[in-house]
Amino acid sequence: MGNFLAGKVVAVTGAGRGIGRAVARAAAAEGAKVVVNDYGVSVDGASPTSEVAEAVVKEIEAAGGEAVAVADDISTMAGGQRVVDVALASYGRLDGVVCVAGILRERMLFNMSEEEWDPVLATHLKGTFTVFRAASAVMRRQRSGTLIGFTSGNHQGSVSQANYSAAKGGIISLVRSAALGLHKYGVTANAVAPVARTRMSANVPTELTEIGEPEDVAALVTYLLSGSAAEQGITGQVYTIAGPKIAVWAQPRELRSVYGEGSWTPERIAEVLPGSVGVDPMPMLSQLLAMEAAARAGSRPNAQ
């Protein structure tokens, strides 16, 4: 066991499988006491079971670590609060929360139902809010702590997962808001966009050229939870980890602007906008067009 997180208490949602499980195990191996939350559902969010969270607690204990299971649904306010309450009741403090829980309900936008939209937004975006909300109140009093949200490269857009993409974009804005609102209390917030082999990524229809294991993601999360990252003042950031690659995403900013004289009219905008402000080409659209061309040529498309 290492000691990167010695003395810390960390809660991880979606910690029963895939990336969350690797994060929980790595945090425990680095000395943290861990709250293992998992609702134990299928990839589309059905059939909950408490066995999944309990199994990971047993794995951590067998390896000499300390952990406690919470099998609640973090898409409810009560579920998010319980994750935090169990940390305080079991270990007396809370130094980090990592919101990994997620589900998929894939459908083209023009066919997507409310039953496909709402649970995906509720699990990812509201499920990050419920835990951040409860944890940030504790961390504000403690004057320390780290909040970590899970996003995806798909926050840039997705052909058949508009629900998932919208939720992942929302998580980035939530993380940035947490970073701003909690800065004066010494609390940091960051987001991770992973690419790792799990049951969820097994559903991706294209061949991923850059992919790693859940343990790679866990190493980055462990660092972000540690005192080393806090000392560097790392907050409000989005990091991708895909096997050997770690990348930081740009902060959104205005690219070009033009100022009008007097009030704008549609005619004046039609005259001025194309040649001055213009557009910022969409990388995901270029990639989609390349994939469509590759498919037409009969080769298997690649995606990042």
Ligand X SMILES: NC(=O)c1ccc[n+]([C@@H]2O[C@H](COP(=O)([O-])OP(=O)(O)OC[C@H]3O[C@@H](n4cnc5c(N)ncnc54)[C@H](O)[C@@H]3O)[C@@H](O)[C@H]2O)c1
Nearer to ligand X, 153 or 236 (CB): 153
Going through 76-209 in order, the beta strands assigned E by DSSP cover 96-99, 145-150, 187-195, 207-208
Using CB positions, name the residue nearest to ligand X.
Answer: 18
217 DSSP β-pair partners:
none
Nearer to ligand X, 94 or 144 (CB): 94
Nearer to ligand X, 41 or 144 (CB): 41
How far apart (Å, rounded) are the C-alpha atoms in residues 301 and 296? 10
CB of residue 187 to ligand X, shortest distance in Å: 21
Active-site positions? 152, 164, 168
Q: What is the dihedral of CA 276, 278, 280, 282, to 10 degrees?
A: -170
How far apart (Å, rounded) are the C-alpha atoms in residues 268 and 263? 9
CB of residue 73 to ligand X, shortest distance in Å: 4
CB of residue 153 to ligand X, shortest distance in Å: 7
How far apart (Å, rounded) are the C-alpha atoms in residues 208 and 62? 34
Contacts of 212 (CB under 8 A, 6+ apart): 195, 196, 197, 241, 242, 243, 244
How far apart (Å, rounded) are the C-alpha atoms in residues 197 and 179? 29
Surface-to-core class of residue 282, CB atoms within 10 Å of its CB (0-12 exposed, 13-18 middle, 19+ buried): exposed
For residue 140, give both structure tokens: 């504000």
Give the angle subtended at the CA of 220 by the CAs of 222 and 66, to the nearest 5°: 25
CB of residue 181 to ligand X, shortest distance in Å: 22
Nearer to ligand X, 144 or 151 (CB): 151
CB of residue 260 to ligand X, shortest distance in Å: 41
CB of residue 90 to ligand X, shortest distance in Å: 18
Give the closest residue to 55 by CA, choosing from 28, 33, 36: 36
Give the closest residue to 174 by CA, choosing from 121, 222, 211: 121
Nearer to ligand X, 32 or 192 (CB): 192
Nearer to ligand X, 37 or 146 (CB): 37
| Interface with ligand X (CB under 6 A) | 13-14, 16-20, 37-41, 43, 45, 52, 73-75, 100-103, 123, 127, 150, 152, 194-196, 198-201
Tell the residue number behind the tokens 């009741």, with chain if given.
89
